[in-house]
Amino acid sequence: MTDTTTQTNETGARRHGISLHVLGPLLALIVLIVLGASLNSNFLSYGNVTNVLARSAFIGIIAVGMTFVITAGGIDLSVGSMAAFIAGVMIMAMNAMIPTLGIGVPLVLAGMAVALVTGLAAGLLNGFLIAKVGIEAFIVTLGSMGIYRSLTTWLADGGTLSLNYDARSFYRPVYYDGILGVAWPIIVFALVAILGELAMRKTPFGRHCAALGANEQVAKYSAVKVDRVRMATYVLLGMLVGVATIMYVPRLGSASGSTGVLWELEAIAAVIIGGTVLKGGYGRVWGTVVGVLILSLIDNILNLASIVSPYLNGAIQGVIVILAVVLQREGKPAE
């Protein structure tokens, strides 16, 4: 029921035109862009914009999946270490397949398949334990966070897993090249975001996620297959972590125990900055995209400007994250 009320508020707000609730994150993003442009003339250069968007892609693709999980009232803390684990498995699989497949398109496609299947399996495992066995999402994913992290360290024998040099050179363009000057990670991120937005707004799956997050009992009585929807959100997220890893591996061609550290918190922060409700029931994929861009722009601007001591970078990030959320809460009627 809460679900329907929020929806009404949302449509109501939109009818009135401007609402801070909706525009908050967008305003914060615009302020950051103006700030960046005024601090450094290279900020809006093609190179810098490409850099920022491409490096946002990993967290961004994951955060789109996280939007569904959080909308359905769940949480997934394991995505950062899952990304490291998938990257490790993918690198080891590709290295092992070089003798049979040779270096070329089949090898890269096989590597991508391994990443997607590993992601799917990891998501399925999380989803099964949460939806079918009925353990708290926080605990399940806290556990799998530790498991994937140490499995990665173990696979790498405490060091770093590196992709074979020639295979890496062949695979490298997947991160660095693109079509018409738009890098592949940006294209993939955009596609994932558009499909995610459509799925959230236009499909029964999106509505079921919101219904489930708003009130599980009501959703159940409304013939929503609660378990299946919940499981599907984790599987979707797992697969998107796989997609993110496919874009990540060609960048540095390596994975170690320190890959993807704290990605889960960045993804969750991006989702919340974007206006999705942490306790579930309402999700906004385009907001998540804005949230991701805000987070990477903060880093970028701090590096480009170097006006404050680098020791304070974390504090400034924290302040901006909280401000962005305060800004959007202002227009929201008290509940």
Partner 1 sequence: MKRRDIFKGAVLGLALVGAGPALAQDTKVIGVAIPSATHGFMGGLNYHAQAAIERLEATYPQLDFVLATAGDAGKMVNDIEDMVATRNISALVVLPFESEPLTAPVQAVKDAGIWVTVVDRGLSVPNIEDLYVAGDNTGFGRVAGEYFAENLKSGDNVVVLRGIPTTLDNERVDAFTAAIEGTGINVLDMQHGNWNRDDAFNVMQDFLSKYDDIDAVWAADDDMAVGVLEAIDQAGRNDEMWVVGGAGMKEIIKRMMDGDPMLPVNVTYPPAQIATAIELTALGQVSPTPVSGRFIIGSQRITPENAEQYYFPDSPF
**Contacts with partner 1, residue ranges (CB under 8 A):** 40, 42-43, 45, 47-48, 51, 55, 153-154, 156-160, 162, 176, 251-252, 254, 256-259, 261, 299-300, 303-304, 306, 310-311, 313
Q: Closest Cα partner for 239 from 307, 174, 204, 188?
A: 188
3-state DSSP of 180-219 = CCEEHHHHHHHHHHHHHHHHHHHCHHHHHHHHHHHCHHHH
Q: How far is the CB of 250 from partner 1 (least distance, A)?
A: 10
Q: How far is the CB of 277 from partner 1 (least distance, A)?
A: 30
Q: How far is the CB of 240 from partner 1 (least distance, A)?
A: 19
Q: How far is the CB of 314 from partner 1 (least distance, A)?
A: 10
Q: How far is the CB of 311 from partner 1 (least distance, A)?
A: 6
Q: How far is the CB of 211 from partner 1 (least distance, A)?
A: 38
Residues 6 or more apart in contact with residue 230 via CB below 8 angstroms: 72, 74, 127, 130, 131, 212
Q: Which is nearer to partner 1, 95 or 254 (CB)?
A: 254
Residues pairing with 179 in the sheet: 182
Q: Are 203 and 196 in contact (CB under 8 A)?
A: no
Q: Which is nearer to partner 1, 5 or 42 (CB)?
A: 42
What distance in Å separates the CA atoms of residue 285 and residue 193, rounded to the nearest whole number? Answer: 7
Q: Which is nearer to partner 1, 55 or 220 (CB)?
A: 55
Q: Which is nearer to partner 1, 7 or 51 (CB)?
A: 51
Q: How far is the CB of 34 from partner 1 (least distance, A)?
A: 18
What distance in Å separates the CA atoms of residue 31 and residue 33, rounded to the nearest whole number? Answer: 5
Q: Closest Cα partner for 185 from 240, 106, 244?
A: 244
Q: Which is nearer to partner 1, 229 or 249 (CB)?
A: 249
Q: What are phi and psi of 160, to 5 degrees?
A: -125, 135
Q: How far is the CB of 155 from partner 1 (least distance, A)?
A: 8
Q: Which is nearer to partner 1, 126 or 256 (CB)?
A: 256
Token pair in block for residue 93? 């699989």
Q: Which is nearer to partner 1, 38 or 45 (CB)?
A: 45
What distance in Å separates the CA atoms of residue 247 and residue 243, rounded to the nearest whole number? Answer: 7
Q: Which is nearer to partner 1, 9 or 48 (CB)?
A: 48
Q: Are 288 and 63 in contact (CB under 8 A)?
A: yes
Token pair in block for residue 76? 């997934």
Q: How many CB atoms lie within 10 A of CB 226?
A: 18
